[in-house]
């Protein structure tokens, strides 16, 4: 049973917001453009891997978590692409979306990719990463007095990746091998957890979910203010007139752009906004008009008078 849906990572959400909000001439624009492109490809790759789980008819009772994130007892984060909990084992998956050829040199803990143009690059060690996640769960299971085997795999979502020299200790394979690998694990292990303890552990994992908050190290004065017109590729600031936002260039009128702008504020600056901050960001002179817009939004208000701020919810951009 899928307990945690796949969501875009915070880094991807931030990169996309910066592409809307940085001037295209900004020194960091090309960097965030590349980050966004790479993370979007990775996200699509992860979704391609995800589909395979729903065709596995032999999984029986299980809990599946996509993008599982937690903070360990030492205050350090874990970001796990996929976590499968069954009565027989816990399976930790790292999903890589890469082109070219990949090799792993075990004795050096070195993961390298050779691009088609011959350029060789080194990437963070996926084996050390999954084993570190596993060590967290080993500690957790010891505390819970559970003896559940932990399995690992590095899965490549791009069919064009050539998997070269890889270690034997942690399997590396293409998405197409996932189903076969899971079948092997199901035959290898015997049940350890009862259905009741599986459910209990699943609930505990869900309640320990903690997403890492990412704010960019970009000063506010580099971020474009106001409601930006999507049709004009976020290059034109819309104006507030007759209770709606209108683009002076293409004439588009919509509320969606306003919600998108509030979401950008939440992602890049703060999820709390005061009346004066709202007026400054949306370039509205009148305090009364700002108050009316804010009250019509129905946001949760905290405090009163000058100290009052409004909380911008995470789902603000999905409002229509
Ligand atoms: Zn426009």
Distances (CA, A) of 194 to 141, 160, 164, 300: 15, 41, 40, 43
Sign of CA dihedral 291, 300, 279, 256: negative
Ligand 1 centroid distance, CA of 312 (Å) = 25
- What pLDDT digit, counting tens, does each position of 251-268 carry? 999 888 999 999 999 999
Extended strands (E) in 51-210: 63-71, 77-85, 90-96, 101-105, 110-114, 120-123, 150-156, 162-163, 172-174
Q: Which of 277, 182, 294, 173 is nearest to 223 (CA)?
A: 277
- Taking the domains of the chain in order of start, what are their residue ranges? 2-207, 225-318
Residue 215 has pLDDT above 90, yes or no: no
Ligand 1 centroid distance, CA of 191 (Å) = 60
The two three-digit tokens of residue 276, written as one number: 């004066």
Residue 194 has pLDDT above 90, yes or no: yes
Query: In the prediction, which pLDDT does 226 show?
Result: 95
Model confidence at 320, pLDDT cuts 50, 70, 90, reads: low
Distance separating alpha carbons of residues 89 and 69, to the nearest angstrom = 19
Ligand 1 centroid distance, CA of 233 (Å) = 8
- What pLDDT digit, counting tens, does each position of 27-71 carry? 999 999 999 999 999 999 999 999 999 999 889 899 999 999 999
CB atoms within 10 A of CB 313: 17
Spell out the residues 6+ positions from residue 230 whose beta carbon is closer than 8 angstroms to its own: 252, 256, 257, 260
Query: In the prediction, which pLDDT does 238 show?
Result: 95
What's the fold here for domain 225-318? Arc Repressor Mutant, subunit A (1.10.10)
- What pLDDT digit, counting tens, does each position of 126-172 carry? 999 999 999 999 999 999 999 999 999 999 999 999 999 999 899 99
Q: Which of 17, 23, 66, 19 is nearest to 43 (CA)?
A: 66
Ligand 1 centroid distance, CA of 231 (Å) = 5
Ligand 1 centroid distance, CA of 232 (Å) = 4
Ligand 1 centroid distance, CA of 287 (Å) = 26
Sign of CA dihedral 242, 248, 254, 258: negative
- What pLDDT digit, counting tens, does each position of 88-126 carry? 999 999 999 999 999 999 999 999 999 999 999 999 999
Query: In the prediction, which pLDDT does 318 show?
Result: 86
Query: In the prediction, which pLDDT does 214 show?
Result: 79
Size (the chain), residues: 320
Q: Give the pairing type, strands 150-156 and 172-174.
A: parallel
- What pLDDT digit, counting tens, does each position of 267-290 carry? 999 999 999 999 999 999 888 989
Tell me the DSSP string of 100-122. SEEEEEGGGTEEEEE-TTS-EEE
Ligand 1 centroid distance, CA of 246 (Å) = 8
By the 8 A CB rule, do 238 and 226 touch?
Answer: yes
Residue 216 has pLDDT above 90, yes or no: no
Ligand 1 centroid distance, CA of 301 (Å) = 32
Ligand 1 centroid distance, CA of 304 (Å) = 37
3-state secondary structure of 199: helix
Ligand 1 centroid distance, CA of 238 (Å) = 7
């Amino acid at each position: 049973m899928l307990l945690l849906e796949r969501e875009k990572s915070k880094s991807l959400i931030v990169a996309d917001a910066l592409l809307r909000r940085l001037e295209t001439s900004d020194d960091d624009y090309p960097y965030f453009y590349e980050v966004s492109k790479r993370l979007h490809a990775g996200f699509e790759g992860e979704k391609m891997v995800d589909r395979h789980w729903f065709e596995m008819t032999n999984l029986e009772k299980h809990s599946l978590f996509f993008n599982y994130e937690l903070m360990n007892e030492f205050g350090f984060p874990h970001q796990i692409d996929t976590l499968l909990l069954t009565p027989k084992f816990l399976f930790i998956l790292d999903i890589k979306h890469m082109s070219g050829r990949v090799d792993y040199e075990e004795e050096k803990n070195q993961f390298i990719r050779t691009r088609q143009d011959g350029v060789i690059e080194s990437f963070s060690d996926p084996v050390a990463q999954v084993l570190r996640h596993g060590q967290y769960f080993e500690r957790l299971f010891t505390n819970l007095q559970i003896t559940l085997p932990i399995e690992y795999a590095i899965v490549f979502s791009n069919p064009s990746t050539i998997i070269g020299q890889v270690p034997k200790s942690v399997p590396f394979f293409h998405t197409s091998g996932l189903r076969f690998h899971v079948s092997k694990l199901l035959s290898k292990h015997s049940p350890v957890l009862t259905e009741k303890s599986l459910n209990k552990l699943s609930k505990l994992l869900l309640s320990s979910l903690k997403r890492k908050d990412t704010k960019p190290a970009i000063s506010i004065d580099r971020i474009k203010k106001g409601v930006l017109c999507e049709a004009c590729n976020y290059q034109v600031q819309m104006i507030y007139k007759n209770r709606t936002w209108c683009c002076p260039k293409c004439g588009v009128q919509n509320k969606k752009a306003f919600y998108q702008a509030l979401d950008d504020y939440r992602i890049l600056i703060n999820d709390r906004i005061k009346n004066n901050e709202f007026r400054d960001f949306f370039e509205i002179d009148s305090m009364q008009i700002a108050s009316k817009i804010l009250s019509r939004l129905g946001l949760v208000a905290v405090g009163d008078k000058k100290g009052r701020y409004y909380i911008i919810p995470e789902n603000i951009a999905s409002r229509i």
